[in-house]
Structure 1
């Protein structure tokens, strides 16, 4: 009788060890962030752009009206920055930041807003808008992006993030198309 009882217990222990080991070997779940810089963000998109880790903090940094800023910090290290700017209509943000985008890797134009640039580790989009009755532009930038590791996939997600976040960020800042 003792032998019959010990076999199922042994099988259960082995199965548990295998399941725990399988869970421990997999990739950690992406962080789920639903708000950053005072605006809603798509948790699936931003989560794919953040590295894995144990603790995520988002903090507003130097934010003021017309210039929301926030940083994503994982395990005590700043990893990804997100910022918006309401700027004068005569400023050409894509041209002004061309050198920076080149430094961030192989910038290419993208069809987002009135213009966008996607680099290997950053992205920027510009959209004309009206802010407090004045013609303006809204500029959305995300930088410091290292994930996913596959550059083509990272660039695709960056473009998708800009496409979804630009209208949300503009609306939150009161910049109407």
Structure 2
């Protein structure tokens, strides 16, 4: 994590006021702090793991759609806004952009074949990591860790 990274705190807390605890769960899904940490800027505290210093840094949304819908096509404009979306090996389909990404997993939900979709958007004007290649790698790693656990948490089975 080059530069001046935030410190990952243990439950007992950190000794410096410049640090905050990176949460293990995001939107009710436990993924561990490691995949999320590279996407968060330095700051004093995080709230709900998407805000740092009261400014939203990472926005994550997910949901279930019918099997015929192409979530990547539906998110085309959002992905274009995020910059240079490229196919990624996450779930059954995914695109990683410069400031976000979308991942799709095919599953059975309430007895029917469906698609589970996760969208992550780095909402900050100064997303981290600073280097785009590092940020894209961190986004892919986060989606790879988050998608299957989010699917499981929402009752969408492979």
TM-score (norm 2): 0.84
Secondary structure at the residue paired with 2:57?
strand
Q: Where does residue 18 of structure 2 map in the other structure?
A: none
Say which structure, 1 or 2, has more relative contact order (CA 8 Å, 6+ apart).
Answer: 2
TM-score (norm 1): 0.75
Show structure 1 runs of 5+ residues with no match: 1-24, 59-70
Secondary structure at the residue paired with 2:58?
strand
CA shift, 1:37, in A, is: 0.9
Q: CA separation in 2, counterparts of 1:75 and 1:100?
A: 25
Q: 4+ residue runs of structure 1 moved beyond 6 angstroms?
A: none
Relative to structure 1, the CA distance from residue 89 to residue 102 in structure 2 (aligned partners, 3 Å threshold; closer, same or farther) is same
How many positions carry a matched residue from both structures? 141
Relative to structure 1, the CA distance from residue 152 to residue 176 in structure 2 (aligned partners, 3 Å threshold; closer, same or farther) is same
Q: CA separation in 1, counterparts of 2:104 and 2:26?
A: 19
CA shift, 1:79, in A, is: 1.5
Q: Where does residue 111 of structure 2 map in the other structure?
A: 133
Show structure 2 runs of 5+ residues with no match: 9-20
Q: Where does residue 41 of structure 1 map in the other structure?
A: 31
Q: Once superposed, what is the RMSD of the aligned Cα atoms?
A: 1.6
- Aligned pairs for 1:75-94 (under 5 A) are 75-94=53-72
Q: CA separation in 2, counterparts of 1:107 and 1:117?
A: 6
Task: Tell which deviates more after alignment, 112-121 or 38-47.
Answer: 38-47
Q: Deviations over 1:9-34 (max 9, x none)?
A: xxxxxxxxxxxxxxxx9543254210
Which of structures 1 and 2 has the bigger CA Rg? 1
1:74 matched to 2:52? The reply is: yes
